[in-house]
Amino acid sequence: MFGNRLKIVALRPAPAVAAMTLALMAPASADTYTATSNYTISFLGLTVARSTFTATIDGDAFSVSGDMRSAGIAKLFDSTTGTTSIKGRFVGDDTRPSSFRTQYKSGKKSQVTTIAFAGGSVTSTRNDPPTPKRATRIPLKPEHLRSVVDPLSATLVRARNLASVCSRTLSIYDGEMRMNLMMSQAGFQTIDGVETVTCNARFVPVAGYRTDNKSIQYMRDRGKIRLSFAQLGQTGVYAPVRATISTTMGPVTINSKAQ
């Protein structure tokens, strides 16, 4: 049982965790910012997963691709691996993905999710295997899939300055669940010599989730999420460099280190 819980935490510790896998990027040219960054995911102080992501911002276009794998004590129970990739553009202050793909394998189980977007709305979703039907699942409606982003694109925030980053609600769709992260400013600090702003984020499930899911109930009613954002070069785009998420099993921490 404990081994299964560690595998879950390693790859999907909470619905919001997928939205926190970017770090600072260094400029490759005057208009293009790109870098490869490493991440450590810790549960109760123990490393349970590591990931490597390469991200690029080229003018208004962005792309991110990376992998995640179980590590430390979690790797002793079973091997869990996953990959994620996105593409999209910024339109004004809006982040608009065009494609999202993620896949993972844990033991004998595997999952592939692909989402296509156009004009800020979802045009198609494919889950393999399909999402199981449950009587307790709140159905997704067409209006739930308008003006949304995938979990990874949600981490890219275009803002006038650090003080403006937290004044927003992130509307996220992961291929199964529609959720909101309602952000509010918690303060400023310097992390590894870089000025950051920390946002508190309140998790609000909207649709596509099971009402009897204890983890969802906990995240909605008692969960605490803190995201620390820093600017990517001089692009006016901000991304998380640190995140902490409380879950029913304990706190999850994500830290990044740019290469």
* Whole-number pLDDT of residue 77: 60
Q: Find where tokens 């989730």 sit.
A: 209
Q: What is the DSSP code string of 156-189?
A: -EE-SSGGGTTSSEEEEE-SS-EEEEEEEEEEEE
* Whole-number pLDDT of residue 2: 34
Q: Tokens representing 181?
A: 């992260």
**240: nearest Cα among 13, 37, 87:** 37
* Whole-number pLDDT of residue 26: 38
* Whole-number pLDDT of residue 27: 38
* Whole-number pLDDT of residue 240: 87
Q: How many CB atoms lie within 10 A of CB 134?
A: 12
* Whole-number pLDDT of residue 38: 83
Q: Tokens representing 28?
A: 């490759």
* Whole-number pLDDT of residue 17: 43
Q: What is the amino acid identity at position 45?
A: G
From residue 154, alpha-carbon distances to 80, 94, 137 in Å are 24, 10, 24
**Residue ranges of the chain whose pLDDT lies below 70:** 1-30, 73-78, 257-259
- Per-domain residue ranges of the chain: 2-258
